[in-house]
Amino acid sequence: MSITVEERNFGLVTNPLTEARQMVHSYTLKNTKGMSVTVIQLGATIQSIFFPDGSKKVEDVCLGFDDIAGYMTNKAAYMGGTLGRVANRVASGGFTLDETTVNLTRNFEGQFHLHGGFLGFDSVIWEVVQKTPEGVVFRHQSQHGHEGYPGILTCLITYRLDNEDRLSISFEANTDRQTIVNLSNHAYFNLAGHNAGPKGLAEHTVEIASSEIVETDDRQIPTGELTLVDNTAYDLRSPVVLGDRLKQFEHRPIQGFDNCYVVNGGQLLRSTVKVAKIVHPPSGRALEVWTNQPGVQFYTANNITKITGKKGSFYVKHGSFCVQTEKFPDAVNHQNFPSINLNPNETYRHEVVYWFKVEKTCRCCYKK
């Protein structure tokens, strides 16, 4: 037996680019181990990830919504969506490209460009160009000038699931003129279950193979410097219990993690390397993050106020985490950061593998 893929209607929505009513479809990849992943056309979004624990108890470990209305109502959370053309912040919404000033839209507080603008890749309906057990492939062509970006950018996102419980996401992009691109995915996870909330998140341990973070100011705009994590709350080189560590952020301006960790030596690699590992010891569920990217944005849902999610559950602050692989925020304004420029003769490639595992745990140590 191999992977299966099932297509279903997910819901009707007005296409924001054509303003025509359109049916959004969902695609569910299932393996032989009891794991399944559902992705939807809107935003090429990860809608659910069902994964069994050591006792074969299956939970959905990815936050999201049961219907299209949930995604439209809660756009500001980017729940499970694709971030692009450029993930994260661009300071003052502008930059210089080949001695030409480019002004992007300022969709965040009227000052910055965030996650691709008012109509980012999370909000468009992606075309499906392949739906086979080998993977579901989404395609989107972003027109020249959209949200201020130069060039027609053609993007492909491939979702694959295998029988080793690896969810692989491959991003590719080509352009017809010089532009910038830095794609990512904004899945929110809780390995205790999408609805386990802050109590479940606090039980997780997190480990990120990084000795530096991208330094930011009070508005979370990079200064251009990298900061060593030694002797700080940001040092995750050895596993730390998230609930304990989050207590250290209670009196800080940003109450939790929302940091770009420098991984893979700050270089774009040719192959994927393990950069992070998050474990929920009571269930034994673990998530390894493998990528070829130089950065991982680790976020503990600090800005989530009460959102009604799947099955009527409430999603709140510190009730989930994100591990977004990417190049650094505002890279276009810092020459010392890995470049996010893309030329017509080049292909942007970004690989990330979310490898789900079950670890043997000492059951006596945890009261369910």
Residue 355 CB neighbours (<10 A): 18
Q: Is 187 annotated as a binding residue?
A: yes
d(CA 191, CA 42): 24
Place of tokens 């006596």: 364
Q: Which helix (H) or strand (E) holds 38?
A: strand 36-40
CB 206 within 8 A of CB 240: yes
C-alpha 249, offset from chain centre: 22
Q: Is 195 annotated as a binding residue?
A: no
Q: Is 230 annotated as a binding residue?
A: no
Burial class of residue 1 (count of CB atoms within 10 Å of its CB; 0-12, 13-18, 19+):
exposed
Q: Which helix (H) or strand (E) holds 73?
A: helix 68-73
Q: Is 264 annotated as a binding residue?
A: no
Secondary structure letter of residue 68 according to DSSP: H
Q: List residues bridging with 45 in a β-sheet.
A: 40
Q: Is 89 annotated as a binding residue?
A: yes
CA torsion, points 301, 306, 307, 311, in degrees to nearest 10? 110
Q: Is 182 annotated as a binding residue?
A: no
d(CA 283, CA 331): 38
Residue 343 tokens read as 């030329």
**Binding site members:** 88-89, 186-188, 258
Binding-site annotation, residues for beta-D-galactose: 88-89, 186-188, 258
